[in-house]
């Protein structure tokens, strides 16, 4: 059987502001509807319940923002990427803007790391925060089947901290490979009750050479 | 909206997306350029309120005015409310994030009686005095409408103006008047008197009530001259001509009706005697297939939804359904849009649709016989015979369906135990029908019956009849349970205590405002949510304020008694309703409006259904 031609386009987008209160599942639904509104020639899956193809590099957790994020869509026609950008950005929610669209240079599975900026409302100083992460970083990880204590320090590629506007700004590069994803919330969890409030922004998705996933 | 001041709260509550606005399609206006700020409040959760078509239509009409900005507001869930009260954050509107206590007009839609506590609690959470009499010039005007406004009395202490009927035109007139009065510094009291002059607007503070010793109403009259003795409902005459929103906010959260909704027609030709919508929404007014198809295409373009649902009281009674479906199939199949036809009758047209159109969906196969015997179906004027039900089931089974749902009601006037047993035997006959032939489904047939309790509603022929007590309803529910023997039949029923409270407020008078206020004080809210409904607390409330709830719910009301809602007119005459009530007791049916005009009163108000429905 001949499947119709399809062309994968990568959409670079942001999830910011109040969109951080939206779960990944709700985000997926919102973007699917935006894709339909865009009128782009979407390639539908060929199953019993056809739906437009939409693949995220890495879901953004609720309460987190993302400034450099990507999802891939499949089209039936090879359109100029600028056209995809224009049509889609006209119909996306304002807190989920599209930055650009391009034909992918790398595969999504080349994703290895993600970088973050975490603002911590805390009485700890930047040095104190960093020193907490000096040795083993053991946190309680919950999955569907079990809860276990894990040392996440091997998944922390780099970490720096500084004071900013009365808060501590923690910059981190964490593992984001499909089999070793570290949610940045564990860094905040690790600091425990000493953090009153935190705000996490994912600033980039990176490959194994710490180059942007583009 | 800017959520900075509540970011700590949002990190602690469930589903924070309920409280932040910012959806695609949200309407933002320049605050400095509008003269009238309005907050349209739905007294239940975001997911329920965002699905409400009436509120969407009215906000659309109001927001077409450049001088006005009408924003949204929903009842925060208990976790959010607790956080807001703790942190001193008053109720705010979702678009601007501004406190609604600083708005000009705060509007509530009252869709069901059990949302009354939420509405009052929302005022309190906003920091607005709940009683109309305690709100001076500095406070917003508080108005309310929706189906429950047909008996506005239980909420009358809290609301300045009720809008009775369809508000597309009259709410705009009220807004115009408000703007004019605000500009000219007109005092609230004078504004209210002027408002009472707009059709459909009822200002409860302009009337006084006196009671007989037995608690019934002695007299109800305007306090001063110039105030109309009766308030006539408003309704639009040309549905094709009236504004319908084809773009709106796209909720991130999954709402109750997360799809396109197309309003096909208003009113109903049927005349079921328990149904309030069937009376108050008269006359029947249809939209043309051309209008509907155009609106559906626009909606699709603007929303990206892949399902469109038809909204009306009975889709099979739409005279041009075939034409409409044919038109829509021209593009919906190609665009992979499903058409859903809720509560469609299983007739030849239905079968034809099932065969030719893969993407016309029936959201589950349902029948609403409402009563278990033909005798009782005649009493309630449900013109559906057992033969029709069985024929419909057979057609569905032949078409490969094997699961269906039946809706019934307990506590109908003249109901006997035989009628209860009739529910079980009807379900059993459907099961037997399935097995009378060899059919494909490996799991066999599944018939689920869902039984609610009659709530006698104002403006229905049953408004005078007592509701069964909760004990009697429970006895009937248990009797039915015993009568069901097949494991192919599943059975669920409503809590009679919930229906009791509904009946109290449905037929209530002004004195009930005290009970609502006390219940809110005691922390009662979200009464329509099982986990928060608290019967015992409500009984304590009634005792504390000295009200016997059974007086409202379980009493047989005399035809000659003054009713708390007698000063409201929905166009259908009281004489007609009395005639229907008497016919009910005799088990005599009334034909539908297309077959023969029954002279309900609407024939003098522009109804042309019996003449083929042509516009006047």
On whether both A18 and A100 belong to a single domain, the answer is yes
Q: Is A80 domain-assigned?
A: yes
In this predicted structure, the answer to whether residue B399 has a pLDDT above a threshold of 90 is no
Instruction: Please enumerate in sequence order all residues whose Cβ is within 8 A of that of B571, keeping only pairs 6 or more positions apart, or say none.
Output: B232, B233, B235, B282, B283, B601, B602, B605
| CATH number where A200 lies | 3.30.70
10 Å Cβ neighbour count for B38? 27
Burial (Cβ within 10 Å: 0-12, 13-18, ≥19) of residue B247: middle
> Shortest CB distance from B20 goes to which of A21, A36, A44?
A21
pLDDT number for residue B551: 98
Q: Is A158 domain-assigned?
A: yes
Encode pLDDT of B555-591 as tens digits: 999 999 999 999 999 999 999 999 999 999 999 999 9
CA distances from B412 to B13, B71, B275, B536 (A): 43, 41, 12, 26
Encode pLDDT of B179-234 as tens digits: 999 999 999 999 999 999 999 999 999 999 999 999 999 999 999 999 999 999 99
On whether both A89 and A126 belong to a single domain, the answer is no
The structure's pTM equals 0.95
B406, B450 contact by CB (below 8 A):
yes
Q: Give B 14-33 residues with CB within 8 A of chain A.
A: 16-17, 19-24
Q: Is B604 domain-assigned?
A: yes
pLDDT number for residue A45: 86
Encode pLDDT of B412-449 as tens digits: 999 999 999 999 999 999 999 999 988 877 788 999 99
Least confident span in B288-292, B363-367, B586-590: B363-367
> Shortest CB distance from A34 goes to which of B7, B10, B24?
B24
Cβ contact B20–A33 (<8 Å): no
% of chain B beyond a pLDDT of 70: 97
Which tokens in the block code for residue B94?
């979702």
Domain end among B478, B512, B527: B478
Cβ contact B24–A29 (<8 Å): no
In this predicted structure, the answer to whether residue A87 has a pLDDT above a threshold of 80 is yes
| CATH number where B205 lies | 3.40.50.280
> Shortest CB distance from B252 goes to which of A26, A63, A196?
A26
Interface residue of A15, A16, A18 to substitute, partner B, most B CBs within 10 Å: A18
Instruction: For residues B506-521, give the mean pLDDT.
Output: 98
Encode pLDDT of B28-87 as tens digits: 999 999 999 999 999 999 999 999 999 999 999 999 999 999 999 999 999 999 999 999
Cβ contact A21–B17 (<8 Å): yes
In this predicted structure, the answer to whether residue A98 has a pLDDT above a threshold of 50 is yes
Instruction: For residues B94-122, give the mean pLDDT.
Output: 98
pLDDT number for residue B616: 43
Q: Which range of residues forms the domain containing residue B616?
A: 259-363+571-616
Cβ contact B22–A93 (<8 Å): yes
Which tokens in the block code for residue B551?
């007086």
Q: List CB contacts (< 8 A) between B17 and chain A.
A: 21-23, 26
On whether both A201 and A118 belong to a single domain, the answer is yes
On whether both A95 and A123 belong to a single domain, the answer is no
Q: Of A208, A146, A143, A156, which Cα lies nearest the Cα of A182?
A: A156
Q: Which range of residues forms the domain containing residue A186?
A: 110-206
In this predicted structure, the answer to whether residue B400 has a pLDDT above a threshold of 90 is no
On whether both B438 and B292 belong to a single domain, the answer is no
> Shortest CB distance from A63 goes to which of B11, B304, B305?
B11
Instruction: Please enumerate in sequence order all residues whose Cβ is within 8 A of that of B103, keeping only pairs 6 or more positions apart, or say none.
Output: B37, B38, B39, B93, B140
In this predicted structure, the answer to whether residue B124 has a pLDDT above a threshold of 50 is yes
pLDDT number for residue A143: 77
On whether both A97 and A124 belong to a single domain, the answer is no
Please tell me if residue B255 touches chain A, with a CB cutoff of 8 Å.
no
In this predicted structure, the answer to whether residue B345 has a pLDDT above a threshold of 50 is yes
Q: Is A201 domain-assigned?
A: yes
Q: Is A196 domain-assigned?
A: yes
- Among chain B residues, CA nearest to A94: B24
Q: Is A214 domain-assigned?
A: no
B467, B500 contact by CB (below 8 A):
yes
Q: Is A144 domain-assigned?
A: yes
pLDDT number for residue B604: 86
What is the average pLDDT score of chain B?
Answer: 94
Cβ contact B17–A30 (<8 Å): no
Which residue is it, tokens 């115009």?
B176
pLDDT number for residue B195: 98
Encode pLDDT of A121-165 as tens digits: 999 999 999 999 999 999 998 877 888 999 999 999 999 999 999
Q: Is B65 domain-assigned?
A: yes
d(C-alpha A73, C-alpha A103), whole Å: 10
Q: Is B544 domain-assigned?
A: no
Cβ contact A21–B254 (<8 Å): no
On whether both A73 and A129 belong to a single domain, the answer is no
Angle at A70 between CA A64 and CA A76, to 5 degrees: 140
On whether both A171 and A116 belong to a single domain, the answer is yes
Domain end among A50, A83, A104: A104
Domain end among A68, A86, A104: A104
- The number of C-alpha atoms within 13 Å of A84 and in the hemisphere containing its C-beta is 26
Cβ contact B252–A29 (<8 Å): yes
d(C-alpha B173, C-alpha B202), whole Å: 14
Instruction: Please enumerate in sequence order all residues whose Cβ is within 8 A of that of B526, keeping only pairs 6 or more positions apart, or say none.
Output: B44, B75, B77, B78, B117, B118, B532, B533
Domain end among A52, A84, A104: A104
Q: Is A43 domain-assigned?
A: yes
What is the number of domains present in chain B? 3
What is the number of domains present in chain A? 2
In this predicted structure, the answer to whether residue B364 has a pLDDT above a threshold of 70 is no
Please tell me if residue A77 touches chain B, with a CB cutoff of 8 Å.
no
In this predicted structure, the answer to whether residue B615 has a pLDDT above a threshold of 70 is no
In this predicted structure, the answer to whether residue B359 has a pLDDT above a threshold of 70 is no
Reported as a pLDDT band with limits 50, 70 and 90, residue B363 is: low
Q: List CB contacts (< 8 A) between B97 and chain A.
A: none
> Shortest CB distance from A37 goes to which of B3, B20, B302?
B302
On whether both B414 and B275 belong to a single domain, the answer is no
In this predicted structure, the answer to whether residue B304 has a pLDDT above a threshold of 60 is yes
In this predicted structure, the answer to whether residue B252 has a pLDDT above a threshold of 60 is yes
DSSP string covering B468-488, please?
A: PPHHHHHHHHHHHHHH---TT
- Cis? peptide before B535, omega within 30° of 0: no
Please tell me if residue B223 touches chain A, with a CB cutoff of 8 Å.
no
């Amino acid at each position: 059987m001949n499947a119709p031609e399809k062309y994968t386009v990568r959409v670079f987008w942001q999830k910011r502001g109040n969109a951080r209160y939206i779960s990944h599942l709700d985000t997926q639904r919102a973007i699917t509807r935006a894709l339909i509104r865009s009128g782009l020639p979407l390639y539908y899956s060929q199953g019993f319940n056809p739906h437009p193809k939409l693949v995220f590099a890495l879901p953004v957790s609720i309460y987190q923002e993302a400034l450099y994020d990507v999802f891939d869509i499949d089209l039936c026609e090879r359109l100029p990427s600028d056209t995809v950008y224009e049509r889609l950005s006209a119909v996306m929610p304002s807190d989920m803007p599209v930055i650009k669209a391009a034909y992918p240079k790398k595969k999504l599975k080349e994703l290895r790391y993600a970088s973050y900026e975490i603002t911590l409302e805390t009485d700890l100083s930047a040095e104190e925060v960093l020193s907490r992460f000096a040795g083993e970083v053991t946190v309680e990880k919950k999955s569907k089947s079990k809860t276990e204590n894990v040392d996440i320090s091997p998944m922390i590629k780099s970490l720096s901290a500084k004071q900013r506007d009365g808060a501590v700004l923690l910059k981190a590069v964490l593992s984001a490979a499909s089999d070793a994803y570290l949610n940045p919330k564990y860094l905040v969890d690790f600091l425990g009750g000493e953090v009153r409030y935190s705000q996490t922004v994912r600033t980039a998705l990176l490959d194994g050479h710490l180059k942007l996933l583009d | 909206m800017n959520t900075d001041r509540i970011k700590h709260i949002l990190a602690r509550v469930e589903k924070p997306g309920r409280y932040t606005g910012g959806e695609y399609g949200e309407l933002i206006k320049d605050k400095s350029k509008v003269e009238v700020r309005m907050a349209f409040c739905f007294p239940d959760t975001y997911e329920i309120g965002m699905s409400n078509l009436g509120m969407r239509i009215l906000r659309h009409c109001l927001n077409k005015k450049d001088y006005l900005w009408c924003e949204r507001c929903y009842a925060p869930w208990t976790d959010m409310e607790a956080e807001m009260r703790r942190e001193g954050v008053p109720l705010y509107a979702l678009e601007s994030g501004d406190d609604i206590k600083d708005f000009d007009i705060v509007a509530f839609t009252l869709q069901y009686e059990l949302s009354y506590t939420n509405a009052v609690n929302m005022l309190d959470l906003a920091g607005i005095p709940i009683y109309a009499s305690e709100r001076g010039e500095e406070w917003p005007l508080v108005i309310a409408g929706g189906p429950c406004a047909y008996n506005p009395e239980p909420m009358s202490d809290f609301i300045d103006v009720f809008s009775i009927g369809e508000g597309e035109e009259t709410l705009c007139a009220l807004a115009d008047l408000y703007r004019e009065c605000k500009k000219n510094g007109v005092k609230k009291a004078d504004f209210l008197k002027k408002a009472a002059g707009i059709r459909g607007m009822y200002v409860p503070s302009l009337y006084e009530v006196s009671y007989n010793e037995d608690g019934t109403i002695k007299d109800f009259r305007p306090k001063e001259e110039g105030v109309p003795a009766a308030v006539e409902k408003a309704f639009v005459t040309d549905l094709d001509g009236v504004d319908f929103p084809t773009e709106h906010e796209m909720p991130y959260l999954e709402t109750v009706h997360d799809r396109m909704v197309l309003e096909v027609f208003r009113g109903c030709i049927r005349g079921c005697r328990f149904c309030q919508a069937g009376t108050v929404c008269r006359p029947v007014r249809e939209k043309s297939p051309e209008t509907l198809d155009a609106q559906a295409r626009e909606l699709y373009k603007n929303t990206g939804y892949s399902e469109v649902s038809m909204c009306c009281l009975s889709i099979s009674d739409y005279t041009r359904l075939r034409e409409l479906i044919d038109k829509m199939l021209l593009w919906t199949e190609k665009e992979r849009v499903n058409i859903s036809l809720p509560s469609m009758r299983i007739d030849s047209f239905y079968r034809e649709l099932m065969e030719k159109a893969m993407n016309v969906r029936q959201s589950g196969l349902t029948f609403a016989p409402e009563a278990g015997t033909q005798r009782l179906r005649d009493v309630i004027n449900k013109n559906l015979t057992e033969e029709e039900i069985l024929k419909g089931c057979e057609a569905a089974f032949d078409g490969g369906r094997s699961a269906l749902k039946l809706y019934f009601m307990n506590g109908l006037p003249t109901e006997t135990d035989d009628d209860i047993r009739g529910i079980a035997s009807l379900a059993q006959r459907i099961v037997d029908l399935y097995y009378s032939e060899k059919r494909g489904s490996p799991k066999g047939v599944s018939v689920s019956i869902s039984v609610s309790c009659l709530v006698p509603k104002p403006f229905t022929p049953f408004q005078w009849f007592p509701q069964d007590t909760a004990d009697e309803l429970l006895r009937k529910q248990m009797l039915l349970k015993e009568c069901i023997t097949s494991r192919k039949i599943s059975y669920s029923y409503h809590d009679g205590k919930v229906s009791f409270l509904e009946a109290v407020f449905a037929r209530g008078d002004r004195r009930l405002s005290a009970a609502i206020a006390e219940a809110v004080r005691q922390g009662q809210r979200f009464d329509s949510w099982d986990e928060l409904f608290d019967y015992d607390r409500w009984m304590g409330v009634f005792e504390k304020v000295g009200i016997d709830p059974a007086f409202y719910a379980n009493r047989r009301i005399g035809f000659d008694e003054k009713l708390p809602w007698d000063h409201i007119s929905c166009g259908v005459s009281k004489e007609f309703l009395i005639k229907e009530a008497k016919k009910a007791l005799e088990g005599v049916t009334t034909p539908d409006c297309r077959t023969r005009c029954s002279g309900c009163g609407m024939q003098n108000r522009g109804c042309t259904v019996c003449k083929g429905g042509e516009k006047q």
